[in-house]
Amino acid sequence: MPIQIVRNDITKMKCDAIVNAANRTLLGGGGVDGAIHRAAGRELLEECRKLGGCKTGEAKITKAYRLPCKYVIHTVGPIWHGGHHHEEEQLISCYRNSLRLAEQHHCETVAFPLISAGAYGYPKEQALQTAVSEICRFLMHHDLTVYIVVFDKDCFQISKRLLHDITEYIDECYVEAHHGENSVRMDAYLFENARMRGQGQPRQRSLSLAEAMAGIDESFSQMLMRKIDEKGMTDAQCYKKANIDRKLFSKIRSNPNYKPSKTTAIAFAVALELSLEETNDMLMKAGFALSHSNVFDIMIEYFIKNGVYDIFTINEALFEFDQVLLGQ
Ligand code: AR6
């Protein structure tokens, strides 16, 4: 997945480069900087001494020594002074310059901490939003996989209103799905399938083979390509918006019978801004359905019904509810 939010200690990330939220001396400090220097060993400090410091918003690269990655990119985030002192601009520069350096060194995978969101006091939610939007902007034109590594879950202070609405929606759907039922899962599934075929009740009679064969129509891959054309999108616009990498997209494109995972199928439905009905149709073609028996499906339904088609907003909310994320 081109951009992934993961909960981890960045010093454990096995990727080509990790980014350090350093200070202007580049001689180490607390927080993530301290952790990186401790894990890399003294040689990192020795190399850093030769760099002559780094200005806010800029980035410099070193080897990674004992860390399980190849490079450390050191960038200096802005100190938060209330938001009217070019903090956002400087934070954007940190991401942009770090990503450029990574690319110049042929890195394919890069992990960022939430720069400035600790000792430098940048509000975490804003720091995360800036990180996601700047990384996405870069990925529109470059093929890299970028991890945003968060240490503490409170980075995900997704809008309280959204959180409240999702929780309420899940509660309502759960009550509705679990009301007096023992086999909720199957009933919900059957009902959903019946509903999608335009019938009020679950279908009782099983299909004959001939009937089933006659019913094979457009595949997932074919529907995806058709929808991309209908929406006037380019392939790249679609897979980037879906947070899917080019290789996987090419596989789907070249194999009409490709069976994607459920999260991949939903990611495309979101990227194409499909209605709930169309999403269900697309999911069916991949062998899946949305039901009211699990939180993940209810949340997806909520977003689509409410026209929330930004995959990163959706993933932040899914993360908050400990659900799998959309994309590959
Ligand atoms: N892995 C991932 N994230 C971490 C880790 C870790 N091991 N440790 C902390 N974080 P901060 P800043 C998160 O303070 O705000 C240093 O002293 C942390 O929860 O490390 O840019 C430097 O030398 C927070 O969300 O960096 C500078 O003087 C984020 O990383 C100053 O702090 C950044 O917190 C830089 O401050």
* Residue with tokens 């080509």, as numbered in its chain: 16
SS3 55: coil
Using DSSP bridges, classify how beta strands 3-7 and 145-150 pair: parallel, antiparallel or unpaired: parallel
Name residues whose C-beta falls within 8 Å of residue 124's C-beta, 6 or more positions apart in sequence: 114, 117, 154, 155, 157
Give the separation between CA 241 and CA 235, rounded to whole angstroms: 10
Closest to 19 (Cα-Cα) out of 55, 67, 79: 67
Give the separation between CA 298 and CA 169, rounded to whole angstroms: 8
| pLDDT above 90: percentage of residues in the chain | 63
Give, for all 328 residues of the chain, the pLDDT tens digit: 578 888 889 999 999 999 999 999 999 999 999 999 999 999 999 999 999 999 999 999 999 999 999 999 999 999 999 999 999 999 999 999 999 999 999 999 999 999 999 999 999 888 988 998 899 889 888 889 999 998 876 655 555 566 667 667 777 776 565 554 433 333 333 334 334 434 443 333 444 555 555 555 789 999 999 999 999 999 999 999 998 989 999 999 999 999 999 999 999 999 999 999 999 999 999 999 998 888 899 999 999 999 999 888 898 888 888 888 887 5
Residues 161-186: tens digit of each pLDDT: 666 676 677 777 765 655 544 333 33
Residues belonging to the active site: 33
Name residues whose C-beta falls within 8 Å of residue 117's C-beta, 6 or more positions apart in sequence: 123, 124, 127, 128, 155
Outline which parts of the chain fall under CATH 3.40.220.10: 3-155
Task: Domain 3-155: give its CATH superfamily.
Answer: Leucine Aminopeptidase, subunit E, domain 1 (3.40.220.10)
Contact call for residues 4 and 325 (beta carbons, < 8 A):
yes
Residue nearest to atom 31 of ligand 1 (CA): 119
Q: Give the DSSP H/E element, type plus range, for residue 21.
A: strand 17-22
Q: Ligand 1, residues 32, 91, 115: which to mutate, most atoms within 8 A of Cβ?
A: 32
The pTM (predicted TM-score) of the whole model is 0.68
Ligand 1 and 75: CB distance under 6 A = no
Give the separation between CA 299 and CA 305, rounded to whole angstroms: 10
Calculate how far, in angstroms, residue 28's C-alpha sits from the geometric centre of ligand 1: 11
* Residue with tokens 């490079």, as numbered in its chain: 71
Give the separation between CA 294 and CA 309, rounded to whole angstroms: 20
Q: Is the dihedral of CA 79, 84, 89, 95 positive or negative?
A: positive
Contact call for residues 258 and 298 (beta carbons, < 8 A):
no
Ligand 1 and 114: CB distance under 6 A = yes
Give the separation between CA 184 and CA 201, rounded to whole angstroms: 15
